[in-house]
Amino acid sequence: MADQANLSPRAANTRFVAAARPRRPRRFATFAVLALAGPGLSLGAAACSSSSGSAKPTPSASTPALSPLTGIGAAGHVLAVKIDNVGSAQRRQTGLNSADIVYVIEVEGGLSRYLAIYDSSRAPARVGPVRSARQTDIPLLAAYGRVGLAYSGAISGLLPDLAAANVQNITPAIASSQFSNGGNDPTYISPASIFTAYPDLAEAKDVGLRFGPAPAGGQSAASVSATMPSASFTFTASGTRWLVSVDGRAANTTDQGRTSADNVIIQHVHVVPGKYTDHNAGHPDNEVFSQTTGQGLADFYRGGQVWHGQWSKATDTSPTDYTINGVPMPLAPGRTWIVLEGQG
């Protein structure tokens, strides 16, 4: 779509609660006879100071606090970036393998877009291509505090919501010097430059992720696929990591090779008509909304294994609880991809 420039907006503070727990959608998983990584052997698990797989790492008095977003390294300030994932943009993606968390979000036409979360203590030199914001971003980011949100623009109806949201809006209209190519597609940002220009962005905080040794009860899984109406994703186990393929092709970054994750969460959500419809392409396209406040089913993939459980988020600003039978699901320390897959 042709993005409009961002300006100054007001936001809705609507909370959405999912309907009664739906039937689990079909999961296209391939199960391996031999697990690729046994429980407790996940990347960086030894760095976790917790003795319980369900607990958050607790540093000793002489150990710096670990990042609540990855379970490793120090926590810094947070920047969220909207990244294009359609057509040729898939071959121009830069900086994805430096993100702490990558959310995969459905947009109009059943296509997908990424919301990538970066920490100032380990941000890459360049991130993009940057594209426009969506309604789903606002409640999704509410749990993070007043973080930066870098995007190229938004349709006019959404601009007031973005202006009133508890984020620092960073767009070509507000901070043109932070975007390459005059803010025109393809445009990229330098996180280091943004963190310098906006030193008061919120620091990484607990948004619900827990890290530790793999729990009992996991099933061996060689790969998993998730779909949207016009997009598909496959994550293939490779040692302790998952290699990402998009729309049937291996996903690669321009700076760090094959796109990968340490954990994959398939979060089953309601995808409903959004508040706004885009007419920029000459025909109406509703900007759909993924409900991430509420509850539903979730599938957790780490170290060549899968666990089936639940997610719940009481309010927009609450952390999201990821659990198995009511007990927190410990992830492998590292980068997590969260696919917001429509259910049904």
* pLDDT at residue 25, rounded to an integer: 46
Residue 254 has pLDDT above 60, yes or no: yes
Q: Report the 3 state secondary structure along 139-157.
A: HHHHHHCCCEEECCCCCCC
Single out the residue of 94, 63, 144, 66 nearest to residue 257, CA to CA.
94
User: Is 61 in contact with 74 (CB distance < 8 Å)?
Assistant: no
Q: Is residue 313 part of a domain?
A: yes
Structurally, the chain folds into a number of domains equal to 1
Q: Is residue 17 part of a domain?
A: no
Q: Is residue 10 part of a domain?
A: no
Q: Is residue 91 part of a domain?
A: yes
* pLDDT confidence band for 282 (50 / 70 / 90): confident
| Separation of alpha carbons 327 and 322, rounded Å | 8
**CATH number for the domain harbouring residue 102:** 3.50.90.10
Q: Is residue 13 part of a domain?
A: no
Q: What is the mean pLDDT of residues 254-272?
A: 98
The per-residue pLDDT of the chain, averaged, comes to 86
Q: What is the mean pLDDT of residues 1-11?
A: 39
Strands 305-313 and 28-30: what pairing?
unpaired
Domain with 233 in it: 28-342
* pLDDT confidence band for 1 (50 / 70 / 90): very low
Q: Could you give the percent of the chain with pLDDT greater than 70? A: 81
Write down the H helix ranges in the chain.
137-141, 159-164, 191-197
pLDDT tens digits, residue range 34-43? Answer: 333 333 333 3
* pLDDT confidence band for 279 (50 / 70 / 90): confident
Regarding pTM above 0.85, the answer is no
- Which region among 1-15, 148-162, 188-202, 225-239 has the lowest average model confidence (pLDDT)? 1-15
Residue 222 has pLDDT above 50, yes or no: yes
* pLDDT at residue 65, rounded to an integer: 82
- Which region among 11-15, 91-95, 233-237, 304-308 has the lowest average model confidence (pLDDT)? 11-15
Q: Is residue 249 part of a domain?
A: yes
User: Is 73 in contact with 105 (CB distance < 8 Å)?
Assistant: no
pLDDT tens digits, residue range 43-96? Answer: 333 333 333 344 444 444 445 589 999 999 999 999 999 999 999 999 999 999
* pLDDT at residue 92, rounded to an integer: 97
Q: Is residue 278 part of a domain?
A: yes
Q: What is the mean pLDDT of residues 225-231?
A: 97
Burial class (CB in 10 A: 0-12, 13-18, 19+), 284: exposed
